[in-house]
Amino acid sequence: MRVLAALSGGVDSAVAAALAVEAGHEVVGVHMALSSQPAACRVGSRGCCSVEDAGDAARAAEIIGIPFYVWDLAEEFEEAVIADFVEQYRAGHTPNPCVRCNEFVKFRELSDRARALGFDAVCTGHYAALVDGPSGPELHRGADPDKDQSYVLAVMGPQELGRVVLPLGEAPSKAWVRAEAERRGLGVSNKPDSYDICFIPDGDTQGFLRERLGEETGRIVSPDGRVLGSHQGYWNFTVGQRRGLRLDRPAPDGAPRYVIETRPESNEVVVGAAQLLSVERIECERAVWLAADDPGEGAEGLSAQIRAHGEPIPVARLTRSGERLVVDLAEATRGVAAGQSLVVYRGTRVLGEATIASATRRGPDA
């Protein structure tokens, strides 16, 4: 196959491209420049898309022996990921920009351009596996549970399953990938992983939102409406947050308080006891279903994941209606916020993904 390999400048994508060549594919490398200010986009292991990363990607391509290009996708990234991130916080949600990036940049822009140029598939360094199932390709968890990235890939949609190559799906560990990079002389074997939000390289999310959304004094209240303190913008808080509340007085029982709700319409942050965070029913919208042969009926082996590296939660019942999804969990969980992605699994297989709209306790008759 003619394969377009996304080279981020890191070790994972470099080894993935080398493995794709080794598998007999005709590979071309491309680095997606996502920052309008690349020189200021990496701080240690934070961030990505810097000049350093582009140079590392180019050197990796040269060593592998494949053609290499740089595509400027900064405008698309700003509109699809950064602007959406800000607007989601404005709406009182907790977005996952990595999911958004995979949906609109890596598996829309990259795939569309690859097809237009005559490529059969794209190759990435994600830790997730493609399996030939009886009804076609299936997306599964990667072999290394500590690095599994199937959660952020679930949004790619069923049409992309046959047009993607994931060579690191069977990689036993990150140490193995680094050893492969060193063995192949790729020069990025010891490069630190990027983490946190790539377009906020200093890790100061509140500062980033303050620049975009400003400040507006609001009230911190208890569930019964008592005023407990003040804040400078509900967008600085997310469900489950404990730190940064700066309350003058403790709860009557001395227990810590957590954010249980933000109210954009009144600029209020509601705080309460930890048990108020527990939910059993999650309602979702904009569902993307990858498994046409498995509608999600029957709870055996069914689980849900609400964070990139969160533990899977057993599912008691799943109801689908168009792009809406209702998931009843077999056990309560905490810290579920609107805007997060929920991914449904059957064993290791990804069945689908949806955006969380609300989360509640189940009623007694549910």
Q: Does domain 214-276 have CATH number 2.30.30.280?
A: yes
Which string of DSSP letters, residue by residue, matches 146-172?
A: TT--HHHHGGG-GGGGGGEE-GGGG--
Say what the pLDDT of residue 309 is: 87
Domain spans of the chain, in order of start: 2-183, 214-276, 278-360
Q: Is the pLDDT of residue 49 over 70?
A: no
In angstroms, rounded to a whole number, what is the distance separating the alpha carbons of residues 307 and 241? 15
* % pLDDT > 90, the chain: 72
Q: Which CATH architecture has domain 278-360?
A: Beta Barrel (2.40)
Buried b (16+ CB within 10 A) or exposed e, 110-140: bbebbeeeebebbbbbbbbbbeeeeeebbbb
For residue 45, the model assigns a pLDDT of: 44
pLDDT band at 108 (very low <50, low <70, confident <90, very high): confident
pLDDT at residue 300 is higher than 80:
yes
- The pLDDT score that the predictor gives to residue 187 is 83
- What is the model's pLDDT at position 44? 47
- Over 50: is that where the pLDDT of 94 sits? yes
The residue that leads in pLDDT, 72 or 203, is 72
- Residue 264's contacts (CB-CB under 8 Å, 6 or more residues apart) are 90, 91, 92, 234
Mean pLDDT throughout 21-49? Answer: 73
**Candidate from 40-44, 106-110, 171-175, 252-256 with smallest mean pLDDT:** 40-44
Average pLDDT value for the chain? 90
pLDDT at 63: 96
pLDDT at residue 68 tops 80:
yes
Q: 308 vs 15, which has greater pLDDT?
A: 15
Confirm if 3 and 121 have CB atoms less than 8 A apart.
yes
What single DSSP character describes residue 95?
-
What are the phi and psi torsion angles at 258 (to 5°)? -130, 155
How many alpha carbons lie under 13 Å from residue 345 in its C-beta half-sphere?
22
**Is 198 part of the annotated catalytic residue set?**
yes
In this predicted structure, the answer to whether residue 156 has a pLDDT above a threshold of 70 is: yes
Which is the catalytic residue, given 48, 49, 98, 198? 198
Predicted pLDDT of residue 253:
81
Q: Which of 41, 48, 49, 101 is catalytic?
A: 101
pTM: 0.90
* Fold designation for 2-183: Rossmann fold (3.40.50)
pLDDT surpasses 80 at 232: yes
Q: Beta strand pairing status for 341-346 and 279-289?
A: unpaired
| pLDDT on residue 365 | 44
Averaged over 274-289, what is the pLDDT?
A: 95
Which range (105-114, 210-219, 283-292) has the least confidence? 105-114
Residue 101 bears catalytic tag? yes
